[in-house]
C-alpha cells in the first residue's frame, strides 16, 4: 500500500516537473482571481453587521438578517426584482439566438470578401465604450436634434421624446445591446463552425442537400454544445445586468422601468452611504444567480447531456 502511494506521488511530481511551463501560465490568472474574487469575500460580512467606519468591519455590531428583512419589506423590492427580471429575460430571449443566426448565415455565405466586410461592420460597435454608446443613443433619440425624430418630422409626424416614454425604454436598452454585441458574440460560434470537417458538407452536397439542410443537420448540431454552455452561463447571471448602461439611460420619467438591482445598490450604498444594506442586496443577488446557475446546469445536463460540470 505504501509502495503504491510512493509511486503515485512520484508520478505526480514528474508530471508537475514535465508541465511546469504550463502551470506557470496559470499563475497570473490564479493570483488575480484570488485578489479580486476571494479576498473581497471578507467584506461579505457587512451584510450581517451595522457598519461603522470608525469601528471597522470586525468592530461593527452584528445584526444578523436585519438588512435582508429590510430589503424584502422595502417598497423597492418588488419593482427592482421585476424590472431586473423582465430586462434580463427580454435581453436573453432576443440577444442569445441572434449571434447564432448571424454566424450560421455568414458561415454559409459564398463571397469571402463580402463576408469579411460584414463581420467587420458587425464587430465594430463592440469597441464603442458604454458611455459613448449611451451618449449616441440619447443624441439619436433626442426630440430636438435626433436623427430619428428628424425622419419622423420629414414624414409628417410629431417628434417623440423616446427616453421619457417608459414603454420604449426596455426596447431601446435591449435592441441597442443586440446591435452592439451580436457581432462579437458570434465569434465563438464561428470558432465552433470552423472545426466542422469540410467532408461532411461535401458528402451532404453530393446527396443533394440544400443550404438550409446543411445548416440544420450539420452546422446547428455542431455548435449546440457551445450554445448550451453559453446559455447556462447567461442564465447564471440572470439578475446581474450591467450597471453603467442602465444608469446612464435612466431619468426621472422612466425610473419605474429602469430602476434595477444594480442601480438601486449604487444609490443606496454610495449615494446614501448605507454600505450594509447595499451589501445585503448584492449578496441576495449573487445567491439567486447561483441557484439559477445550478438549476439550469442540471436541466441542460438532463435534456442534452451538455453542462458546465
Q: Are 99 and 186 in contact (CB under 8 A)?
A: yes
Q: Coil, strand or helix: which one is 36?
A: helix
How far are the Cα atoms of 39, 43, 137 from residue 26, in angstroms, in the given order? 19, 26, 40
Give φ, ψ of 62 to 5 degrees.
-80, 130
Domain boundaries, the chain: 74-304
Q: Are 255 and 80 in contact (CB under 8 A)?
A: no
Name the more confident of 78 and 205: 78
Q: Are 293 and 236 in contact (CB under 8 A)?
A: yes
Mean pLDDT of all residues belonging to the chain: 86
73-76 contact pairs (CB < 8 A, 24+): 76/259, 76/264
Q: Is CATH 1.10.3720.10 the right assignment for the domain spanning 74-304?
A: yes
Q: For residue range 215-244, list pLDDT tens digits in order.
A: 888 888 888 888 888 888 887 777 777 788
Name the more confident of 300 and 258: 258
* pTM for the model: 0.83
Q: Are 215 and 196 in contact (CB under 8 A)?
A: no
Q: For residue range 112-152, list pLDDT tens digits in order.
A: 788 888 888 888 898 989 899 999 999 999 988 889 999 98
Q: Is residue 252 pLDDT above 70, yes or no?
A: yes
Q: How many CA atoms lie within 13 A of 43 on its CB side?
A: 13
Contacts of 175 (CB under 8 A, 6+ apart): 94
**pLDDT at residue number 4:** 54
Amino acid at each position: 500500500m505504501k509502495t503504491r502511494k510512493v509511486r503515485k506521488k512520484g508520478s505526480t511530481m514528474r508530471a508537475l516537473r514535465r508541465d511546469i511551463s504550463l502551470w506557470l501560465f496559470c499563475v497570473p490568472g490564479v493570483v488575480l482571481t484570488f485578489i479580486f474574487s476571494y479576498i473581497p469575500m471578507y467584506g461579505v460580512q457587512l451584510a450581517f453587521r451595522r457598519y461603522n467606519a470608525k469601528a471597522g468591519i470586525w468592530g461593527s455590531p452584528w445584526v444578523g438578517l436585519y438588512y435582508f428583512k429590510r430589503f424584502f419589506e422595502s417598497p423597492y423590492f418588488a419593482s427592482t426584482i421585476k424590472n431586473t427580471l423582465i430586462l434580463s429575460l427580454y435581453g436573453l430571449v432576443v440577444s442569445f439566438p441572434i449571434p447564432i443566426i448571424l454566424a450560421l448565415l455568414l458561415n454559409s455565405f459564398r463571397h469571402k470578401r463580402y463576408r469579411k466586410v460584414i463581420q467587420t461592420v458587425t464587430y465594430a460597435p463592440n469597441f464603442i465604450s458604454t458611455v459613448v454608446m449611451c451618449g449616441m443613443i440619447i443624441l439619436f433619440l433626442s426630440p430636438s436634434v435626433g436623427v430619428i425624430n428628424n425622419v419622423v418630422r420629414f414624414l409628417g409626424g410629431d417628434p417623440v421624446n423616446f427616453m421619457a416614454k417608459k414603454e420604449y425604454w426596455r426596447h431601446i436598452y435591449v435592441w441597442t445591446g443586440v446591435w452592439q454585441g451580436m457581432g462579437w458574440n458570434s465569434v465563438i460560434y464561428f470558432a465552433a463552425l470552423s472545426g466542422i470537417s469540410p467532408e461532411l458538407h461535401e458528402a451532404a452536397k453530393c446527396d443533394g442537400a440544400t443550404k438550409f439542410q446543411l445548416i440544420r443537420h450539420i452546422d446547428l448540431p455542431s455548435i449546440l454544445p457551445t450554445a448550451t454552455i453559453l446559455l447556462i452561463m447567461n442564465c447564471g447571471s440572470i439578475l446581474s445586468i450591467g450597471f453603467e448602461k442602465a444608469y446612464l439611460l435612466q431619468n426621472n420619467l422612466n425610473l419605474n422601468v429602469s430602476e434595477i438591482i444594480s442601480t438601486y445598490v449604487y444609490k443606496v450604498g454610495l449615494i446614501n452611504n448605507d454600505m450594509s444594506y447595499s451589501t445585503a442586496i448584492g449578496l441576495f443577488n449573487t445567491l439567486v444567480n447561483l441557484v439559477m446557475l445550478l438549476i439550469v446546469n442540471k436541466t441542460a445536463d438532463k435534456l442534452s447531456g451538455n453542462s458546465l460540470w
